[in-house]
């Protein structure tokens, strides 16, 4: 009747312009095939999508494993995933660990709206917003993708498949044919520039993104995530913190995003 650590745990670390992004994933049993190509595929997938910012051209993320995997298989021990920031060479002085380099960087003093910048400097009494924005950055999601991709490798042998695609962006709702198999749905949406299964909607969305870019605005949207092959009875009704809805919501709402009125994160029946 002892409390203990959960099966899988992970911590991510790393600044947007620091040398490395890191994830330690702990609790993966021994004997699973860990194909780095599959993790790299998901990392590349994160960087695609029509209308992404310029940074995506700079970084082509590739994962390096420094623990927990031997000869392509998990050893049971903690798995450390590392993604180098290729742009770090231009930031070495400004992001230096060394106290001797203090003064090498102009402090950032203007908080971005819709980010944790202001809250962060007030919380920690900082005078350079860079100390906050380096972590309060979409770049941080890189290691969540890597860790999630690793989780998929563990689920794969049990026949669990996951898929995410776009249901709507801005004012355009894509029609997703109801009779597609999960494989077809994956194939079609993965080959779409905006990950929809509706070529007409794709053209309209691209047009709306182009329009929006001109005005310097952003668009919300709705993503649908599907998991198949799951065992019955995930989660439980017996205590508030075991309920699956709440736990999924925790993860989804922890994503940094400028939620628009239209695109509020929603958990619920489709």
List the interface residues with its own copies, window 41-80 (CB under 8 A): 65-73, 75-80
User: Does position 181 bind its own copies by CB under 8 A?
Assistant: no
Report which of 74, 63, 73, 54 is spatially closest to residue 14, judged by C-alpha positions: 63
Distances (CA, A) of 62 to 39, 80, 144, 212: 8, 13, 14, 31
Q: Is 39 in the site for its own copies (CB under 8 A)?
A: no
- Strands laid side by side in the 69-70 sheet: 30-33, 73-75, 69-70
Nearer to its own copies, 35 or 190 (CB): 35
CB 132 within 8 A of CB 121: yes
When asked if residue 142 is in the footprint of its own copies (CB under 8 A), the reply is no
Quick check: 129 binds its own copies (CB under 8 A)?
no
Question: CB under 8 A: which stretch of 8-16, 161-169, 177-185, 209-217 binds its own copies?
Answer: 8-16
- The nearest distance, CB 177 to its own copies, in angstroms, is 21
Tokens coding 10: 């992970």
For its own copies, the closer CB: 116 or 206 = 116
Number of residues engaging its own copies in binding (CB under 8 A)? 99
Does 240 sit near its own copies (CB under 8 A)? yes
If one asks whether residue 15 binds its own copies (CB under 8 A), the answer comes out as yes
Q: Which of 6, 89, 110, 214 binds its own copies (CB under 8 A)?
A: 6
Q: Judged by CB under 8 A, does residue 265 bind its own copies?
A: yes
| Residues 185-214 close enough to bind its own copies by CB under 8 A | none
Residues 69-128 within binding reach of its own copies (CB under 8 A): 69-73, 75-80, 95-99, 101-102, 116, 119-120, 122-126
Taking Cα atoms as reference points, which of 143, 160, 136 lies closest to residue 25?
143
**In the β-sheet with 63-67, what is the strand arrangement from edge to edge?**
9-13, 20-26, 79-84, 63-67
Considering Cα of 38, then 42, then 43, then 49, what sign does the dihedral take? positive
């Amino acid at each position: 009747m002892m409390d203990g650590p959960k099966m899988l745990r992970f911590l991510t670390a790393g600044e947007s312009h620091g040398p490395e992004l890191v994830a330690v994933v702990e609790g993966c049993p021994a004997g699973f095939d860990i194909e780095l190509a599959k993790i790299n595929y998901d990392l590349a997938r994160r960087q695609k999508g029509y209308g992404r910012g310029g940074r995506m051209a700079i970084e082509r993320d590739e994962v390096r494993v420094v623990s927990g995997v031997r000869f392509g298989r998990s050893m049971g021990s903690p798995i450390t995933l590392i993604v180098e920031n290729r742009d770090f060479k231009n930031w070495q002085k400004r992001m230096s660990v060394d106290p001797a380099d203090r003064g090498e960087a102009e402090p950032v003093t203007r908080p971005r709206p819709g980010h944790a910048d202001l809250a962060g400097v007030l919380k920690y009494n900082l005078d350079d917003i860079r100390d906050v924005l380096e972590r309060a950055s979409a770049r941080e999601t890189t290691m969540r993708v890597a860790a999630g991709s690793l989780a998929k490798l563990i689920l794969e042998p049990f026949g669990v498949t996951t898929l995410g695609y776009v249901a709507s962006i801005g004012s355009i709702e894509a029609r997703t044919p109801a009779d597609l198999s999960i494989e077809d749905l994956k194939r079609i949406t993965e080959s779409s520039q905006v990950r929809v299964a509706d070529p007409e909607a794709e053209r309209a969305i691209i047009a709306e993104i182009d329009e929006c870019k001109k005005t310097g605005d952003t668009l919300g949207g709705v993503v649908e995530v599907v998991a198949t092959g799951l065992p019955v009875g995930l989660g439980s009704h017996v205590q508030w913190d075991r309920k699956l809805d709440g736990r999924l919501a925790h993860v989804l709402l922890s994503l940094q995003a400028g939620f628009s009125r239209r695109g509020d994160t929603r958990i619920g029946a489709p």
